[in-house]
Amino acid sequence: MKRVLITGASGFLGSHLCDRFVNEGFFVIGMDNFITGDYDNIRHLEKNNNFQFIEHDVTEFVKIEGQLDYILHFASPASPIDYLKIPIQTLKVGSLGTHNLLGLAKAKNARILIASTSEVYGDPLVHPQSENYYGNVNSIGPRGVYDEAKRFQESITMAYHRFHGLETRIVRIFNTYGPRMRLNDGRVIPAFMGQALRGEDLTIFGDGSQTRSFCYVDDQVEGIFRLLFSDYSYPVNIGNPHEISIKDFAFEIIKLTNSNQKVIFKELPVDDPSQRQPDISLAKKLLDWAPKIGREEGMKRTFEYFKNLPEEKLYKSEHKDFSNHIKK
Ligand code: UDP
**How far apart, in whole angstroms, are the C-alpha atoms of residue 202 and residue 321?**
24
Mutate to test the pocket of ligand 1, among 205, 207, 243, 261 (most ligand atoms within 8 A of CB): 205
Phi, psi (rounded to 5 degrees) for 300: -60, -45
CATH number reported for the structural domain that contains residue 211 in this entry: 3.40.50.720
**How far apart, in whole angstroms, are the C-alpha atoms of residue 313 and residue 190?**
12
The residues pairing with 23 across neighbouring beta strands, listed in sequence order, are none
**Cα-based distances in Å from 107 to 153, 159, 228:** 19, 16, 19
Spell out which residues line ligand 1, taking CB within 6 angstroms: 80, 175, 186-188, 191, 203-205, 210, 212, 246, 269, 272
Mutate to test the pocket of ligand 1, among 83, 146, 209, 212 (most ligand atoms within 8 A of CB): 212
SS percent in the chain: helix, strand, coil, step 5: 40, 20, 40
Amino acid at 302: T
DSSP 278: B
Task: Collect all residues with Cβ–Cβ distance below 8 Å to 231 and sequence separation of at least 6.
Answer: none
Q: How far is the CA of 188 from the centre of ligand 1 (A)?
A: 5
Tens-digit pLDDT profile for residues 64-99? 999 999 999 999 999 999 999 999 999 999 999 999
How high does pLDDT run on average in the chain?
95
Q: How far is the CA of 5 from the centre of ligand 1 (A)?
A: 31
Tell me what pLDDT residue 312 has: 83
Whose CA is closest to atom 4 on ligand 1? 188
- Rounded to a whole number of angstroms, the CA Rg of the chain reads 19
Tell me what pLDDT residue 326 has: 46
Encode 71-84 in three state secondary structure: EEECCCCCCHHHHH
**pLDDT class for 313, splitting at 50, 70, 90?**
confident
Whose CA is closest to atom 24 on ligand 1? 272
Q: How far is the CA of 200 from the centre of ligand 1 (A)?
A: 17
Tell me what pLDDT residue 47 has: 95
Choose, from 83, 121, 146, 216, the residue flagged as catalytic.
146
Is residue 5 over pLDDT 50?
A: yes
DSSP 245: E
Q: How far is the CA of 110 from the centre of ligand 1 (A)?
A: 36
Domain count for the chain, please give it: 1
46 three-class SS: coil
Tell me what pLDDT residue 317 has: 54
| Contact present, 189 and 214 (Cβ < 8 Å) | yes
**How far apart, in whole angstroms, are the C-alpha atoms of residue 95 and residue 149?**
6
Q: Range of 230's domain? A: 3-326
Tell me what pLDDT residue 321 has: 53
DSSP 200: P
Tens-digit pLDDT profile for residues 234-263? 999 999 999 999 999 999 999 999 988 999
Give the pTM.
Answer: 0.96
Mark whether 146 is an active-site residue.
yes
Sheet arrangement for strand 70-73: 51-55, 27-32, 3-7, 70-73, 111-117, 168-173, 235-238
Q: How far is the CA of 93 from the centre of ligand 1 (A)?
A: 22
Atom nearest to 195 CA in ligand 1: 8
Task: Collect all residues with Cβ–Cβ distance below 8 Å to 297 and sequence separation of at least 6.
Answer: 216
Atom nearest to 143 CA in ligand 1: 25
Q: Pick from 61, 69, 68, 72: which is nearest to 96 by CA? A: 61
| Contact present, 272 and 205 (Cβ < 8 Å) | yes
